[in-house]
Amino acid sequence: RIAILTDLGTVNQSVLHHLSDLDLLFLESNHDIGMLMDGPYPLYLKHRIKSRDGHLSNEQSLELFNRIKMNGRFRHLILGHLSEINNDPAKVLELFENEIVPKLRDRNFLIEIANQHQPGNVHIL
C-alpha cells in the first residue's frame, strides 16, 4: 500500500487515519523554515507557503512521519516536493536520517529524496 502526500499545509486526524498499513510513503518536505523566511520570496508568499493552505516544512513532515502507526511492511520513505529555493536535500536527508534510522535500524528502512528533474528509483513491494 502506497500513500502520496503533497500540498497538505496541515495534517489532521483524517489524514493520519489513512496512513496505516503502508509499504511506502511519498511525503512532501517542501521547505526549511529558516531558508524560506530568509529567502527571496515576497512576504505574502512566505506566509501562504507556511499557512494551513500551503506546504509542509521539513519539521512538520518529520512530525507527521513520527505520528504514523508503523507496521512490519513499512520500509520506504520518499521525501519530495522540495523547494529548489527554500530547501536543501542534504539537510532534509540528515534531519530524517538522524531521527528515523536509529529507531528503524532493524527494518532496513530506506529514505530517499525525490529529484524534480530525474526519474526516481523503481520500488518493488
**Position 5 pLDDT exceeds 90:** yes
**Position 102 pLDDT exceeds 80:** no
Residue 120 located in a structural domain: no
pLDDT band at 65 (very low <50, low <70, confident <90, very high): very high
Q: Among 18-27, 47-56, 99-108, which stretch is predicted with the lowest mean pLDDT? A: 99-108
Query: Which own/partner pairs from 111-115 qualify as long-range (CB within 8 Å, at least 24 positions apart)?
Result: 111/77, 111/78, 111/79, 112/76, 112/77, 112/78, 112/79, 113/78, 113/79, 113/80, 113/82, 113/89, 114/26, 114/78, 114/79, 114/80, 114/81, 114/82
pLDDT at 68: 86
- Strand 76-80 and strand 110-113: the pairing is parallel
Domain count, the chain: 1
Residue 23 located in a structural domain: yes
d(CA 115, CA 104): 24
The residue range of the domain holding 62 is: 2-113
Residue 106 located in a structural domain: yes
**Position 84 pLDDT exceeds 80:** yes
Residue 123 located in a structural domain: no
Residue 124 located in a structural domain: no
Residue 7 located in a structural domain: yes
pLDDT band at 54 (very low <50, low <70, confident <90, very high): very high
Residue 11 located in a structural domain: yes
CB 66 within 8 A of CB 12: no
Residue 65 located in a structural domain: yes
Average pLDDT estimate for 17-39: 93
**Secondary structure (3-state) at 28:** strand
Here the CATH number for the domain that contains residue 106 is 3.60.15.10
